[in-house]
Amino acid sequence: MKYTKEFSEIFNHPSRGEFLCRAIRPSDKEGLVMALKDLSIESRKKRFLTLKKGFTEKELKIFTEVDFVRHVALAILKVVDQSFEPVGTVRFFVDEDNLERAEFAITILDKFQGLGIGNYLFDHLCEAAKERGIKELYGTASTENNKIVKLMKKKGEVKSKVITHGILELSLKLG
């Protein structure tokens, strides 16, 4: 398998230089907290469907202690000299009662949005899902979140249904 705890890849962006895409690790807890602080109110609402102000200890454990079997999570970081600046994360959790479905979420920090990084990261997520026999990725988004719909449509057929006022469930069939 390619997408394991050891996964790591350099991504050379045509105008923004070098990025590192790698498996999320338990030591990423602090980075995740810092990244949330850098995320705009608008993006927080799009990602969490609420104005998320922080993570609980339990959430941090879930988000960073990843088994790469039922839960796959990748981070992308900007390489700055000898250090790394958080840029975004993507993950999925396989459904307990249907191993061919997984719920995904993706976040790119505002200052890095619109550069194709979301696309790059979502491509990896789809590959990781296919590697595990997953046939459908689904997630929730606000009805005005056109960006995520556009991003998903590049990978295949997307269905959407309103699950509650202003909230959609989006589902992508993986080819």
Ligand X SMILES: CC(C)(COP(=O)(O)OP(=O)(O)OC[C@H]1O[C@@H](n2cnc3c(N)ncnc32)[C@H](O)[C@@H]1OP(=O)(O)O)[C@@H](O)C(=O)NCCC(=O)NCCS
Which residues would be at the binding site for ligand X (CB under 6 A)?
A: 43, 46-47, 105-108, 113-119, 139, 141, 145-148, 150-151
The minimum distance between CB 51 and ligand X, in angstroms, equals 13
Query: Quick check: 165 and 41 in contact, CB under 8 A?
Result: no
Indicate the residue among 1 and 163 with the shorter CB distance to ligand X. Answer: 163
Q: Which is nearer to ligand X, 47 or 155 (CB)?
A: 47
Question: Is the Cβ–Cβ distance between 119 and 112 less than 8 Å?
Answer: no
Amino acid, res. 146: N
Please report how close the Cβ of residue 82 comes to ligand X at its closest, in angstroms.
25
Least distance (Å) between residue 118 CB and ligand X: 2
Rounded Cα distance between 48 and 6, Å, is 28
Q: How many residues are present in the chain?
A: 175
Q: Between 3 and 122, whose beta carbon lies closer to ligand X? A: 122
Residue 16 or 130: the one with the smaller Cβ distance to ligand X is: 16
Residue 107 pairs in a beta bridge with 89
71 contacts: CB under 8 Å, gap ≥ 6: 62, 91, 92, 93, 94
Question: What is the identity of the amino acid at 63?
Answer: F
Please report how close the Cβ of residue 166 comes to ligand X at its closest, in angstroms: 14
